Structure 1
Amino acid sequence: MFQIAIYGKGGIGKSTVTANISYILSMEGKGVVQIGCDPKHDSTRLLLGGRTQNTVLDYLRETPKEDRSLDDVVFEGSGGVRCIEAGGPEPGVGCAGRGILTMFDFLDSGGLDESDADYKIYDVLGDVVCGGFAVPLRKGYADAVYIVTSGEFMSLYAANNILKGLLNYDDGRPRVGGLILNSRGMNGEYEYVRNFANGVKLPIVSVIPRDPLFADAEASGKTLAESYPDCAAVESLRRITEDIVLRSSNPETLRYPRPLSDDAMDMVAKGIPVSGEAMMEYNRVRNPVNDCWSLKTCAGMGAVAYSRMVRGVHTIVHGPTSCAYMMTCRTDLRTVFRDHYGDGRLVSQDVSCTDLDDSASVFGGMDKLRDLIRKRASYGDEWIMVISMCVPGIIGDNLVDVCAEMSKELGVHVMPLTVDGIGAGGASDGIRAVVLKQTELVDPHNDKDDRLINIMGEFRSATGHMSYLDRSVISLLKDAGFEVNSIFPGHCNLEDVRRFGKAAFAVRSYDERNNRITCEMVCGRLGIKLMDNTLPRGMRATEKWLDEVSELTGRNLEDVRSKMRNEYAARLSSIRKRTEGRTAVVVTHPSSDYGWLFELLDDLGVEVLRTRQTTFNRWLVGQAACEDKKPYSSSTTEADAQELSPDIVISDNMADIGLGVKHWKITQPSPGLEGIIDLAERLGRAMDAPGKEAWR
């Protein structure tokens, strides 16, 4: 008898998949026993005409020990599949995991293993990682494990935990069959799951399409394979049974569990390609480089970072003090809020915390939240955003109802955001969640003004962190026929958010995947046209941006293009006298777009002798170490300078300043013509400066 455990996050559809697998195998003449290991006891419902059967735990509770018989809890379903349900304790009482252990003890003592079945299939809840639900992973039970997942991060997170559990019960033989993708119909779902599958070195055995026939079959109390045996979805289910039959005949072709580390799972959440072997090596072997991987990101961190940018909306961190401490990046919550406002406000005026402690896991944190909301309302805060961390998510605090209750009681606007710390994914997921929540503050505007444009996101320039509009951006937008309506998301005030919907157009301040996704979601929700091109840096990008403006608005901007082109050439001609014929070594971040820099160097007549990329983040440092590659360091730049003798090293690595060679620190220019010319002038001055002073 070949034993199979089907695991997956609750609600992922594993019971439906399992019942169909059992039915298909039975129709092929196989003897099948299906055991539901979920307190909901609905695993075998579709095999029993829609009925739920008496569970083992109910039977054991009601039947004296001397009267118990295995036959009383085994029911025959469609195709002759023998059905067993574990059940669970009363809601809120007892431990369901312990109930699974009790069931297995009864089945073993009753002689279930002595039955003549070809396959025994366990349908197991996979997002409960306690020992009881891990029983089917133990030696002597599952010969093969298949994991049902979808393109949602938490289903992959549960899948990774299942692999960790299987690793803990590793008996030296491969036991993982692969992943089963039960599609939700999301864009990019297959690619998202494929990234995880590549990381853990597992195949996607089958992709089950989202099909309304599943609901039709379930409404009649039958499996899809019984109701619609010839549909495409059943073909995908048959691929699973074919794989099961193949693995049962050749168990050596199964795979070993290779779960990913927490950092690697964060990469999965962000859509960054991962290497399962590299990440597992860090789980197995301590490496000095691993020490720099301790920083974690969570949805709560991203949400708080963007929530606190909106002046006029107070942010409550519903969680431990440590969460608020990390997310405000300050030594304490009374430290001066140093941002572009420059008004000396305290962090505690814009961010506060419910300071949950151990008692919250027993008594909940809702009373503390109510008290803090009342306190903030007494200080005059009329708009409050409450962001939940991991602790309230775990203990089940009902954030939505409490916020509604307090809004009604106090007459203020209390907005809940239940990201539950890392529960919604990484920081980028939290950013998207809070920005979309903030769109609820936008006033409705049916008539959009095509003279107005919104700037979306912060940007950096040669003068530092630009949260405001400088002359270069204002000049660029004015020449294109626009006035700035608001800047959001980013540092702004409540009124900026509320009038966001007036503008017909929006432009991103920089090009980055997560920012692009967020901006597309916001503009799609509010009916605003988001430009494909970001605020441009460099002359060629500016011309491309003006072309898009002309296409969108019908404005003739040829005179503007000509004026900019002539001014660019004229102003660069005087700078070129200091730069033409000079040489440079360029060191850049691997994830940023420096097309504007190389364009500028070419226009100034600077020859680039060599380019390098810095290993600027922990992911690349770890990858380089795993592959026995030496990470980039300042000594690399020094060696390049000694070998090539460039006139200047242009680098985004501040550590290169002290190398004894002329160094110029790369900074992003402001968008528009003025920004790139200002940068060119600074580079020209750096060429003439003494070697150790050029960076200034």
Structure 2
Amino acid sequence: MENEYDIVERFADAVGLPIVARIPRSELFARAESEGRTIAELFPGSDAAKEFEKVATHVLSIKKNRSELRESRPLNDEQMGMIAKGERITGEPGADDTEKGTCRVCMRKPLVRKATTENRILSSCATAGAVYGCLSVSDAVTILHGPRSCAHIMSALKGIAEVKRGYGTDLQSVRIHSTEMDDTVSVFGGAGTLEQRIRDLILEGRKNFFIVTSCVSGIIGDNAIDVVNAISNEHPEIYFRVIEADGNITGDMGTGYVASADAMLDAVDGSVSPEDMTVNTIAERYLFRRGRDPDGGTRALFSALGIRMNCRFMYETTLESIKNIRLGKMTFAAGDDAESKRISRLVESKAGISVEKGTLPVGLKGYKAFHKKMGEAFGIGDVAEEVCLRGERRYLSEIGRLRKRTEGKRAIIEDRFTADIDWLLELLSDLGIEVIKIGMGPRHEWKEHPESRYGEMGIPFAENYSIGDLNSDIRELEPDLVLTDSGLTSLDVRATGYIRPDVGIEGVLEFGRRLANLMSVPVIEGWRRYA
């Protein structure tokens, strides 16, 4: 190709990246391929092999010193056209009257675009977390600026979770759209496909958009904000937010999930005042409860007290309810995991409302404390006390029935990831099950070590607990039951997984019934005895 080196040099200068090697065209490639070997193996002294060695040396150097990684300057379509015509770009690429990297629509910086400094293996990406967060807004479209395969995987996993929860209609998983980026975008860029997808959806009548970038758009330097700025000038009535998650370049799923919360909270109306007998919830997840009414626990908890739920932020909501989130007199976080805590801090700082300490109650102890708190906060002490007593009587009655099958049993808990198992220890105690050991994984960051909270129970704790430790304890201690929040053991023992149940007491009772039923079946199924 004529002047191909000049074209590459102009592109490298424009985006601010060095040319690491110049690999020459050579018939040696065809000869090596026909032998099923590489250039370096078959022709180690060739010019091409020497250039590949430069690439390898450069990669190894970056691996040792991440500071050598460089941030590229994204180019828009006009600038790419200039390079293709043989022109050099002068000045700052993409310079205009808007602060660099800022969206005109919301005048806020997106996620910082940077070379990742993560040294740990990420099991998920920020794009997936951002997409899942945005899908909770029912009257908005989420566009994944990335490959079709990524959108398919995210939609499928979300859909599976929804089916398990018992949903059949209005699935969040169908709210995702993709720009279907393929290998051609590495040459021509994907800004054009993003623009076309947005315009097509506007023609369909869509009014609210979240655009989430993937690793592909991040690596090639697509500027989604430029695209949104141009369209928003034509359609000021359309609501846009861009979340530059860039796959796992910016972090893992939790990072993206929090970033989506940050973007949503831009819609909050600061002039709204709280109304009595209304509450908000934050960052509810797909909890334990399944079946016909999988979300009923949270609704029932408040409706029994005559309290209206205003906004279920990051669960199932609308932009209008996010805008009016300040209507809620009280706001509760559903969980105590790291992402929920970060989202709570965002809500406090951006919406200007206080998030209650503690989480929505799980188990009888929390249930009683919750009703006392609500009675005082809303001046409905008599109603709250009556509702609480009814729930307590129902709980104690059911526990008494289940205890006939569980009392005197002994259990080991493997707690590798769950920060709060208070509800589980309370349930086991109520069922008469003795906890003979708790093995904790290496990922815990305790404010207060659980041994100090449960020291009076005499439970031995083991840190950095592995599957090998669990199997060894099963042989030595011979428990009747193993409860785990990770993989199940392969040894012959009754075992079941656990996650945080639905709020209130019903989710805990459902898990109690599972344990009681487990105690009623043989340790080894009959067919296995003859296998």
TM over 0.5: same fold?
yes
**Structure 2 equivalent of residue 368 of structure 1:** 193
**Structure 2 equivalent of residue 386 of structure 1:** 211
> Alignment partner of 1:592: what SS?
coil
- Kindly state the Cα deviation for residue 560 of structure 1 after the two structures are TM-superposed: 5.0
- Kindly state the Cα deviation for residue 363 of structure 1 after the two structures are TM-superposed: 3.9
Matching residue's letter, 1:601: L
**Structure 2 equivalent of residue 690 of structure 1:** 522
Structure 1's 97 and 577: CA in aligned 2 closer, same or farther, altered over 3 A?
closer
Kindly report which structure 2 residues correspond to 1:112-123, keeping only aligned pairs within 5 A, or say none: none
**Structure 2 equivalent of residue 535 of structure 1:** 360
Query: In the aligned structure 2, how far is the partner of 1:674 from the partner of 1:432?
Result: 29
Structure 1's 468 and 499: CA in aligned 2 closer, same or farther, altered over 3 A?
farther
Q: Does 1:612 align with 2:439?
A: yes
**Structure 1 equivalent of residue 241 of structure 2:** 415
**Structure 2 equivalent of residue 77 of structure 1:** none
Structure 1's 423 and 581: CA in aligned 2 closer, same or farther, altered over 3 A?
closer
Structure 1's 159 and 430: CA in aligned 2 closer, same or farther, altered over 3 A?
farther
Query: In the aligned structure 2, how far is the partner of 1:426 from the partner of 1:336?
Result: 20
Contact 1:523 1:529 in 2 (8 A): yes
Kindly report which structure 2 residues correspond to 1:179-218, keeping only aligned pairs within 5 A, or say none: none
Kindly report which structure 2 residues correspond to 1:122-141, keeping only aligned pairs within 5 A, or say none: none
> Alignment partner of 1:404: what SS?
helix
**Structure 2 equivalent of residue 426 of structure 1:** 252
Structure with greater proportional strand content: 1
**Structure 2 equivalent of residue 452 of structure 1:** 278
- Kindly state the Cα deviation for residue 492 of structure 1 after the two structures are TM-superposed: 3.9
Structure 1's 162 and 458: CA in aligned 2 closer, same or farther, altered over 3 A?
same
TM-score by length of 2: 0.65
- Kindly state the Cα deviation for residue 455 of structure 1 after the two structures are TM-superposed: 1.9
The higher-RCO structure (CA 8 Å, 6+ apart) is: 2
Structural RMSD (CA): 4.5
Contact 1:310 1:493 in 2 (8 A): yes
Q: Does 1:463 align with 2:295?
A: no
- Among 623, 641, 662, the alignment partner of 2:494 is 662
Kindly report which structure 2 residues correspond to 1:337-356, keeping only aligned pairs within 5 A, or say none: 338=163, 341-343=167-169, 349-356=174-181
- Among 60, 67, 71, the alignment partner of 1:162 is 67
**Structure 2 equivalent of residue 236 of structure 1:** none
**Structure 2 equivalent of residue 487 of structure 1:** 312
Kindly report which structure 2 residues correspond to 1:52-91, keeping only aligned pairs within 5 A, or say none: none
Query: Which structure would you say has the larger Rg?
Result: 1
Query: In the aligned structure 1, how far is the partner of 2:405 from the partner of 2:465?
Result: 35
TM-score by length of 1: 0.51
Structure 1's 569 and 516: CA in aligned 2 closer, same or farther, altered over 3 A?
same
- Among 130, 140, 145, the alignment partner of 1:318 is 145
Matched positions, count: 417
Structure 1's 437 and 690: CA in aligned 2 closer, same or farther, altered over 3 A?
same
Query: In the aligned structure 1, how far is the partner of 2:276 from the partner of 2:331?
Result: 10
Query: In the aligned structure 1, how far is the partner of 2:511 from the partner of 2:421?
Result: 13
- Kindly state the Cα deviation for residue 541 of structure 1 after the two structures are TM-superposed: 2.2
Contact 1:467 1:490 in 2 (8 A): no
Q: Which moved more, 1:488-497 or 1:364-373?
A: 488-497
Structure 1's 693 and 534: CA in aligned 2 closer, same or farther, altered over 3 A?
farther
Structure 1's 334 and 669: CA in aligned 2 closer, same or farther, altered over 3 A?
closer
Q: Which moved more, 1:647-656 or 1:554-563?
A: 554-563
Contact 1:505 1:529 in 2 (8 A): yes
- Kindly state the Cα deviation for residue 590 of structure 1 after the two structures are TM-superposed: 3.8
**Structure 2 equivalent of residue 511 of structure 1:** 336
Query: In the aligned structure 2, how far is the partner of 1:405 from the partner of 1:586?
Result: 56
Kindly report which structure 2 residues correspond to 1:559-578, keeping only aligned pairs within 5 A, or say none: 560-562=387-389, 564-578=391-405
Query: In the aligned structure 1, how far is the partner of 2:371 from the partner of 2:64?
Result: 48
Structure 1's 603 and 263: CA in aligned 2 closer, same or farther, altered over 3 A?
farther
Percent sequence identity is: 26
- Kindly state the Cα deviation for residue 315 of structure 1 after the two structures are TM-superposed: 1.4
Q: Which runs of 5+ in 2 are unaligned?
A: 1-8, 20-53, 71-114, 445-462, 527-531
Matching residue's letter, 1:161: R
- Kindly state the Cα deviation for residue 532 of structure 1 after the two structures are TM-superposed: 0.9
> Alignment partner of 2:211: what SS?
strand
Structure 1's 493 and 659: CA in aligned 2 closer, same or farther, altered over 3 A?
farther
Q: Does 1:399 align with 2:304?
A: no
Contact 2:440 2:464 in 1 (8 A): no
- Kindly state the Cα deviation for residue 509 of structure 1 after the two structures are TM-superposed: 1.4
- Among 473, 487, 490, the alignment partner of 2:298 is 473
- Kindly state the Cα deviation for residue 499 of structure 1 after the two structures are TM-superposed: 4.7
> Alignment partner of 2:488: what SS?
helix
Query: In the aligned structure 2, how far is the partner of 1:543 from the partner of 1:485?
Result: 23
Q: Does 1:265 align with 2:113?
A: no
> Alignment partner of 1:490: what SS?
coil
**Structure 2 equivalent of residue 594 of structure 1:** 421
Contact 1:303 1:387 in 2 (8 A): yes
Structure 1's 445 and 550: CA in aligned 2 closer, same or farther, altered over 3 A?
farther
Structure 1's 345 and 159: CA in aligned 2 closer, same or farther, altered over 3 A?
same
- Kindly state the Cα deviation for residue 594 of structure 1 after the two structures are TM-superposed: 1.2
- Kindly state the Cα deviation for residue 459 of structure 1 after the two structures are TM-superposed: 3.4
**Structure 2 equivalent of residue 579 of structure 1:** 406
> Alignment partner of 2:118: what SS?
helix
Q: Which moved more, 1:529-538 or 1:387-396?
A: 387-396
Q: Does 1:603 align with 2:430?
A: yes
Q: Which runs of 5+ in 1 are unaligned?
A: 1-88, 100-130, 139-156, 166-261, 268-292, 618-628
